[in-house]
Structure 1
Amino acid sequence: MANLTEKNEWTDGIYQIEKTDPVVGGVEGISNRQAQQLANRTKYLKEQVESLNSGKAESSHTHTIAQVTDLQNTLNSKATNTDLTNAKNSLTTEINKKATKDAFSALHDLMVGIPFPYPLSTVPSGCLAMNGQKFNTSTYPILAKKYPNGVLPDLRGEFIRGWDNGSGVDSGRALLSSQGDAIRNLEGRISGIVTQSGNVLNATGVFKVDPTKFDNIFGSSTKVSDYGDYLGFDASLVVPTAEENRPRNIAFHYICLAA
């Protein structure tokens, strides 16, 4: 009586004996096929286990179990709480950098086209002077969204006024519209002038009856009586005057970011 010769090989499937199979023994007998396959699997698995216990896998493998274990131990030693915390902090830092960059970009885009009072005459890089000039809308697409006509406002010598936006203080104005200078109307009336006597009976509005100051009305020693029915008005005798209406101010150079 002989035993089956076991082979070190893995058989994917185990043969199923059919009802029609003849009973044939021996090395290649169909009755022994199923047992042969199971025996081969058993031998294969046995040698794999023995190779693991001996510290080396099958011949096609180049790393021993000890090496694999050392690698695992190294990985485990690296994955400490400190390392995980450092990795988390690094990731958080990168996320914050990205968020900060996005926030800066949004702020930069918002500031493009807004007038800045600049203290120097030279325009810094990345900016344009607001001199009413045309600009290239392809070169400055963000600026073009705010000034679609491709022209910057001319702010040379101008003041900026808040848009009325329904308040009724400066109604009828559109954004970026210009407005000329003006003052409130000054009115007055003089009546009952007695000619050749210097006697002014009545005055209203911007005129004032003060016989003691007649000599200064024209900035010289001249009385009203010397001019008959003529009476002058000169605001510069009371307030500073110029060719325009203006508040006290300091001159800055208006520029804007361009992008």
Structure 2
Amino acid sequence: MKKRFLRTSAYLLASLAIIFAVSFANAGDSTSFNPTAVTVQVDSIGGVPIGSIIPWPSSTPPKDYLECNGQSFSAATYPKLKVALNGATTVPDYQDEFLRGASASRAVGSKQVDAIRNITGSFYAGEFNSLDGDPNAFTVMKGKGAFSSGGVTSIHGWGSQSGFHSDHTYRIDFKASDQVPTANENRPRNVAVMYIIRAK
């Protein structure tokens, strides 16, 4: 009997402790049973601020977001977005653009034109004297980097050469594609996404 009484008392004490802990936790959480208050907390603390730019992996923006394509919006419909954009009523146009972090030397919203790193090359030319001492005669020995030897082209009117020499020069070609990948634009490797902005 005594053991049964002790075991029953232990069960009761454990149950009371659990009930008290749950009640205390719920009493300290003022948003647990108030959906409106929970929404307010999400908007102000854990949510995405209005005006935030997000890469989106779909062609359709989610609810309360607009595509960053330069479109105009109604200030009456999206008043907080107008404030976030410093009074503008058009969203940024980020189509075909890469975003880059601002720094002390660049303001937020500033744009840069395209640019590439410098492409270098060199070639070596060696002069030779023709049989009649023509000073205009030369030959290209070797190209390096973006330069390459393009073969021999006949040139007339550069002075006469006699013997086995003929009037000619060597062509030099410059091709960036000999050193780097090329296209009709400058770009890094990339994956296309839709940039969207939270509007509401």
Q: 1-side partners of 2:33 and 2:185: how far apart?
A: 52
Q: 1-side partners of 2:62 and 2:48: how far apart?
A: 19
Q: Decide which of 41, 44, 47 is 1:103's aligned counterpart.
A: 41
1:91 aligns to 2:27 (yes or no): yes
Which position in structure 1 is the counterpart of 2:140?
A: 200
Aligned-pair distance for 1:154?
A: 0.7
User: CA distance change for structure 1 residues 107 and 156 in 2, over 3 Å: closer, same or farther?
Assistant: farther
Asked if structure 1 preserves the Cα contact closer than 8 Å seen for 2:49 and 2:198, the reply is yes
Which position in structure 1 is the counterpart of 2:169?
A: 228
Q: Decide which of 111, 117, 128 is 2:66's aligned counterpart.
A: 128
User: CA distance change for structure 1 residues 109 and 177 in 2, over 3 Å: closer, same or farther?
Assistant: farther
Q: 2-side partners of 1:143 and 1:257: how far apart?
A: 8
CA shift digits 1:56-78 (9 cap, x unpaired)? xxxxxxxxxxxxxxxxxxxxxxx
| Alignment map for 1:1-259 (pairs within 5 Å) | 85=20, 88-95=24-31, 100-107=38-45, 110-148=48-86, 149-164=88-103, 166=104, 171=105, 173-188=106-121, 190=123, 192=125, 199-201=139-141, 206-207=146-147, 214=149, 217=150, 223-225=151-153, 228=169, 230-259=171-200
Asked if structure 2 preserves the Cα contact closer than 8 Å seen for 1:129 and 1:254, the reply is yes
Q: 2-side partners of 1:90 and 1:244: how far apart?
A: 59
**Structure with larger Rg:** 1
The 3-state SS of whatever aligns with 2:188 is: coil
Aligned-pair distance for 1:155?
A: 0.7
The 3-state SS of whatever aligns with 2:196 is: strand
**Aligned Cα RMSD in Å?**
3.5
Which position in structure 2 is the counterpart of 1:29?
A: none
Asked if structure 2 preserves the Cα contact closer than 8 Å seen for 1:197 and 1:225, the reply is no
Q: 1-side partners of 2:195 and 2:126: how far apart?
A: 53
Where does structure 2 lack aligned partners over 5 or more consecutive residues?
1-15, 129-135, 155-167
Aligned-pair distance for 1:122?
A: 1.7
Q: 2-side partners of 1:229 and 1:132: how far apart?
A: 52
State TM-score, norm by structure 1. 0.50
Aligned-pair distance for 1:113?
A: 1.9
Q: 2-side partners of 1:102 and 1:242: how far apart?
A: 49
Number of residue pairs the alignment of both structures matches: 160
Taking CA–CA contacts closer than 8 Å with sequence separation of 6 or more, which of the two structures ends up with the larger relative contact order?
2
User: Whose helix fraction is larger, Structure 1's or Structure 2's?
Assistant: 1
Asked if structure 2 preserves the Cα contact closer than 8 Å seen for 1:192 and 1:201, the reply is yes
Q: Which amino acid aligns with 2:114?
A: D
Q: Which amino acid aligns with 2:84?
A: K
